[in-house]
Structure 1
Amino acid sequence: MAQKAITLTLEQARCFLFDYHGLSHKFDSAGKTGILEYIRRVGCIQFDPLNVVGTNPELVLQSRISDFNRNMLWELLYEERSLVDYWDKNMAIFPMEDWPFFERHRRKHQAWFRSNPAAATAALDEIAQRGPLCSGDLQYNEKVDWAWGPTRLSRAALEGSYFAGRLVVHHKTSGRKYYELAERIVPEELYGLEDPFSDDASYYEWYLLRRIGSVGLLWNRPSDALLMTGIKAPQRLAAFAALIDRGEITEVSVEGLVHPLYIRAGDIPLLEASLSAGPLEGKDVETGRPMRACVLAPLDNLLWDRKLIRELFGFDYLWEVYKPAAERRYGYYVLPVAADGRFVARFEPEKQRGTEPLVIKQWWWEDGGTDSEIRASVERALHRFAASLGTTFDGALPVPG
């Protein structure tokens, strides 16, 4: 049954999203338990191999996990196997228990595997005999067409088998993926299960519900948050209607926004807790809700729908790494900085090398940069950020002009 709509002020919506994503007040998430709790809440975090000051998933987690270090994510992925690398929001990391829900996705990505049975089977046989392998371990040197241009047959054979769900990433070394047979990694009770969805409609409803949870609040509009779901406008409209009718999502009206947002029914207790805590204005670190700044990842879950972020926060952000230099508004690799329920700055770091101190190449303040409390909180955030990289921040923040 459809639930009564919720009405929020703009400030309440902002505070809820920061609370939902673990970006406000004192850290309440730590260790690998905190990592798993967050990823299970949002479904997945996006992976990108570009590494300037850490990869995207590492940047996502350092802003939320008080004691984060890279070994935690490695252990969850490649030792404990609580998490797995696969496609969800583009390349992504999600809980291993979600593996069966992507059977339909894997079937849709078997074209290369089925069209090249000899090469695919040979690669699987070699891994079965030799253990985890990367493309450099296979001597299939013929050039073939591939999604990102011509490539060696060895790479296509491994990635095609990976897309089809026959292989999984066993581990990565300096960004290079080593693959293992999925049946050796995915738990027996999960591997090979039948598609849990009876039809496309139920699949789209599940995926839409998952993506609403990935962002926290989402509208019924075209959205980058829905990338890789296969959901087009007719499917989106039908899925929203079905979820509303069953009471699995609730409409949220936010002052100043023309379009309503939606929240998962299961997240309403989190919204109520956020509302009861009040606005993010506390400055006392012992009481209330102290300000806490954080450096965000370029592909952070909070930023998946940048149009929504622009309307809610007045923050216009675009990751410009793939734009020609002459067309960039800011810089090559620019990271947002948030504090107290708002976006307060963005900066371009120098590439991190070893334990060299974190160096800021360029810095831009948003409105509010003249506030001394914000600047102090941002400086603390940069020290935490540097510590997560295994280094220090010895610089000084520029004074707003």
Structure 2
Amino acid sequence: MTPHRLSRDDARRIAVRAQLLDAERPADPVEVAEQVGWIKIDPTAVIAPCEQTMLWTRIGEAYDPAHLRKAVERDRQLVELDGAFHPVSALPALLVHLRSHAEHPRAKEWLAANTRFRKEVLARLRAEGPLLASAIPDTAKVARSNDSGWWSDNQVPRMLELLSLRGEVAVVRREGRSKVWDLAERVHPAMPDLTLEEARRAIAERRLRAAGVAKHSGWTPVQDAGEPVQIEGVKGTWRVDPEALAALDDDPGGRVAFLNPYDAMLFDRPRLEAVFGFAYVLEQFKPKPERRYGLFAHPILMRDRFVGMLEATADRKEGVLHVQAVHEFLPFEEEEREMVRQEVLDLARWLGLPLSDISDV
């Protein structure tokens, strides 16, 4: 079909709305996950962990962390898998997709060498679960290499993670930051059997709905989902969600949003630069002298443009929110400065922390 044509302004508006970052707020974590696709789990809490800031940024002052726990642990509407919370509706396709990754030759070789260990882990969960990984003995015959430094030498967490990708075990809940595991059959609902092709098509459609507009392949591969579109001043043919395109004239307007560096909106760096003109670099792993905006500065989205970076720290020991700087890419208008100031005040209220110095904002 003949590609649609979009201005970059309209492409940005579609992308912002698809990520629930416009003026119309979602109601709860399940609604966020269904639309955004996934809620990244990351313990870095310079302000708050990613799973919490992603939800507060979208829902606003009505969001309480207890809402996320309820959706995961009691209502079972969200499930933790592969480092993120996903809606249960996405699980059939996601598990088929992840199982294909778990069939990597090195993973299969390690599992084959540890057949007895795998059976012992599953037997322990069947008899005693739910359990923390620390309650399961490490009887691995062959250890996986730890060159990256991301894992401990204990092989139980590695086995559990791999078995979760295979759909054999699942996370029931967390105790602090530690995962509590059980057999997947006692956690996941009954699901339809999908072929790998059906799963990939369903995932591509979800990705496009979450992005609004994305390239056929790349960081957010949507393949042939949606419809072709050309964006003014942007190279290549993209894909657009037809429902998002049809709703373009109903845009409720924008607002200010502070985005955790691991927020889903920031994942596709090439799209950020092509459509938003924002070359985002996470400075967390840069040496301090090379940082421009700070260790874990949060990008500031204003309506459909990235306008600056919030450098702030929630100091629980002192009981304050320190705002080291609001870095402005271009000088703010007075109205824009007030919008950012009000969002900082809302952030402080949500955290339950006073600002260390209100004049810094």
Q: If the length of structure 1 is used for normalisation, what is the TM-score? A: 0.79
The letter for the 1-side match of 2:12 is: R
Q: Does the alignment pair 1:302 with 2:304?
A: no
Question: For residues 370 and 156 of structure 1, what CA distance do their matches in structure 2 show?
Answer: 48
Moved over 6 A (4+): none
Post-superposition shift, 1:378?
A: 0.6
The secondary structure found in structure 1 opposite 2:294 is coil
Please say if residues 20 and 270 of structure 1, whose CA atoms lie closer than 8 Å, have aligned partners that are also in contact: no
Q: Is 1:384 paired with 2:346? A: yes
Between the aligned partners of 2:41 and 2:232, the Cα distance in structure 1 is 34
Distance in 1 between residues matched to 2:123 and 2:317, nearest whole Å: 38
* Partner SS, residue 157 of structure 1: helix
Structure 2 CA distance for aligned equivalents of residues 340 and 397 of structure 1 = 24
**Following TM superposition, by how much is the alpha carbon of 1:348 offset from its aligned partner in structure 2, in angstroms?**
2.4
2:25 to 9, 28, 49: 28
Using the alignment, how far apart are the partners of 1:96 and 1:352 within structure 2?
Answer: 35
What displacement does 1:104 show? 4.0
Larger CA deviation: 325-334 vs 380-389: 325-334
CA displacement, residues 357-386 of structure 1 (integer Å, 9 cap, x when unaligned): 21123431111x331111111111112222
Q: Look up the match of 1:151.
A: 153
State the shift of 1:210 in Å: 2.4
Q: How does 1:222-261 map to 2 (within 5 A)?
A: 222-223=218-219, 225-226=220-221, 239-240=223-224, 243=225, 249-261=226-238
Distance 1:329 1:221, change over 3 A: farther
What CA distance in whole angstroms lies between the structure 2 residues aligned with 1:207 and 1:23?
A: 22
Q: CA deviation at 1:298?
A: 1.1
- Equivalent position SS for 1:205: helix
Distance, in Å, in 1 between the alignment partners of 2:101 and 2:16 is 35
Question: Aligned residue for 2:327?
Answer: 364
Q: Would the aligned equivalents of 2:14 and 2:213 in 1 still touch at CA under 8 Å? A: no
Residue 45 of structure 2 is aligned to residue 37 of structure 1: no
**Conserved in 1, the CA contact under 8 Å of 2:131 and 2:181?**
yes
Which SS does the other structure have where 1:337 is aligned? strand
Secondary structure, counterpart of 1:358 in structure 2: strand
Q: CA deviation at 1:327?
A: 4.2
SS of aligned partner of 1:50: coil
Contact 1:250 / 1:265 at 8 angstroms: preserved in 2?
A: yes
Per-residue displacement from partner, 1:258-292 (whole Å, max 9, x unpaired)? 22331122333333422xx5xxxxxxxxxxx4x62
CA distance in 2, matches of 1:106, 1:272: 41
| Alpha-carbon distance, 1:221 to partner | 4.5
Q: Count residues in correspondence.
A: 350
Inter-CA distance 49–114: structure 2 relative to 1 (3 Å threshold) = farther
**CA distance in 2: counterparts of 1:351 and 1:24, whole angstroms:** 25
Paired residue for 2:213, among 207, 217, 224? Answer: 217
2:184 corresponds, among 175, 182, 185, to 182
1:44·1:92 contact (CA, 8 Å) conserved in 2? yes
Stretches of structure 1 lacking an aligned partner (at least 5 in a row): 227-235, 244-248, 278-288
Contact 2:10 2:248 (C-alpha < 8 Å) held by counterparts: no
1:339-350 matches, within 5 Å, as: 339-350=302-313
What's the Cα RMSD here? 2.6
Give 1:265's match in structure 2, choosing from 223, 231, 242: 242
| Structure 1 residue aligned with 2:56 | 62
| Residue pair 1:167, 1:181 contacting (<8 A) in 2 also | yes
The Cα offsets for residues 76-106 of structure 1, whole Å up to 9 and x where unpaired, read as: 111111000113xxx2211112221122422
Spell out, residue by residue over 1:314-357, the C-alpha distance to the aligned partner (whole angstroms, 9 max, x if none): 22212222334444443221111111221121022224426822
1:140–1:23: structure 2 CA closer, same or farther, 3 Å change rule?
Answer: same
Quick one: which amino acid aligns to residue 72 of structure 1? H
* CA pair 378-106 structure 1, distance change in 2 beyond 3 A: same
Q: 2:263 and 2:136 mapped to 1: Cα distance?
A: 35
Query: Hey, what's the Cα distance between the residues in 1 that align with 2:97 and 2:21?
Result: 34
Distance 1:61 1:365, change over 3 A: same
Percent of pairs with identical residues: 23
Deviation at 1:293, TM superposition (A): 1.2
Q: Is the 8 A contact 2:258 2:310 kept in 1?
A: no
Task: Give how far 1:73 is off.
Answer: 1.0
- In 1, Cα distance between equivalents of 2:230 and 2:113: 49
Q: Structure 1 344/396 Cα, relative in aligned 2: closer, same or farther at 3 Å?
A: farther
1:394–1:341 CA distance, 2 compared to 1 (3 A): farther
Q: CA deviation at 1:175?
A: 1.2
Equivalent position amino acid for 1:205 in 2: R
Aligned partners of 1:59 and 1:359: how far apart in 2?
16
Give deviations 1:160-192, integer Å, cap 9, x for gaps.
3223221111111221111111111112x22xx
Contact 2:41 2:85 in 1 (8 A): yes
**Please, which runs of 5 or more residues in structure 2 have no aligned partner?**
none
TM-score, normalization by structure 2: 0.87
CA distance 1:16–1:59, change in 2 (3 Å)? same
Q: Structure 2 vs 1, CA of residues 395 and 269 (structure 1 numbering), >3 Å: closer, same or farther?
A: farther
Contact 2:167 2:184 in 1 (8 A): yes
The answer (yes or no) to whether the contact 2:20–2:36 under 8 Å persists in 1 is: no
Corresponding residue for 2:14? 16
